[in-house]
Copies of this chain bind each other. A is one copy, B any other.
Amino acid sequence: MTMTTAEENYLKAIYHLSEGGTKSVSTNDIAAEMKTKPASVSDMLRKLGDKEVIEYRKYYGVNITEEGKKRALQTIRKHRLWEVFLVDKLQFAWDEVHEVAEELEHIQSPLLIQRLDAYLNYPKFDPHGDPIPDEFGDVRARPRVALNEMEIDQTGQIVAVKDSSAAFLRYLDKVGAYIGARIKVLDKVEFDGSLEILVDQKKTLFMSKDVAANILVIQS
């Protein structure tokens, strides 16, 4: 059973909104995520239900099926592998890759993805720190905490961002925060939750609570 580009995009959105298939998802939330109208979503949900990649009960939201989860993870795998290719091989900045990967992820060729994976040396994480599912859909996730939830003197390494918008990524580049940076919380301001951070044992950085909440860290 083949899926169209539109169907793959919807299914991926449902997978993300359901937090990996653990929650049911509303029509309105899908419409917001896909930047379409709820009426268009209803049309698509019927189709995805017919293909049994979601369980669709009218008026009650949708749940992704095991088959659907497998499909979504394949698309996510392709998206993230292409992002690694664009950054590692073609010198794209991490804020330039998303839209192109959104197209490349729909290319149909198992051989292509297998060879790309090998060529990139079987990467486990994409340029935004998100894990790349293996060919069976298994994900090796790292336990992460949002930077704003860390306490003074705690240390760790930036591994991902929640907000992947170009604006946010460019801001991080500008201030010198990047995936892989080792950080230490030097101070937290009680009044507004803003933080003072030491980056790579040399650079001091101030950031608002809102910014810190979008930076994910593994503690060490």
Interface residues, chain A, with chain B CB atoms under 8 Å away: 86, 89-92, 96, 99-100, 103-104, 107-109, 111-112, 115-116, 119
Q: Whole-angstrom distance between the alpha carbons of A115 and B91 in the complex?
A: 8
Report the 7 A-B pairs with minimum CB-CB distance, sorted nearest first.
A90-B115, A100-B109, A103-B107, A100-B112, A90-B119, A89-B119, A104-B107
Asked if residues A115 and B100 are in contact (CB atoms below 8 Å), the reply is no
CB contacts (< 8 Å) of A100 on chain B: these are 107, 109, 112
Give CA–CA (A100, B115) in the complex, Å: 13
Q: Inside 8 A of A112's CB, which chain B residues have their CB?
A: 86, 90, 100
Contacts of A104 in B (CB 8 A): 104, 107
A8 nearest CB across to chain B (Å): 14
Contact yes or no, A92 B107, CB < 8 A: no
Name which residue of chain B comes closest to A86, CB basis. Answer: B112
* Distance, CA A96 to CA B100, complexed state (A): 24
Q: A91 to chain B: which residues have CB within 8 Å?
A: 115
A108 to chain B, nearest CB (A): 7
Q: Hey, which chain B residues are within 8 Å of A96, CB to CB?
A: 111
Closest CB of chain B to A17's CB: distance in Å? 26
Chain B residues near A111 (CB, 8 Å)?
A: 92, 96
Residue of B nearest to A96 (CB): B111
| 15 A-B pairs in the complex with CB atoms less than 8 angstroms apart | A89-B119, A90-B115, A90-B116, A91-B115, A92-B111, A92-B115, A96-B111, A99-B109, A100-B107, A100-B109, A100-B112, A103-B107, A103-B108, A104-B104, A104-B107
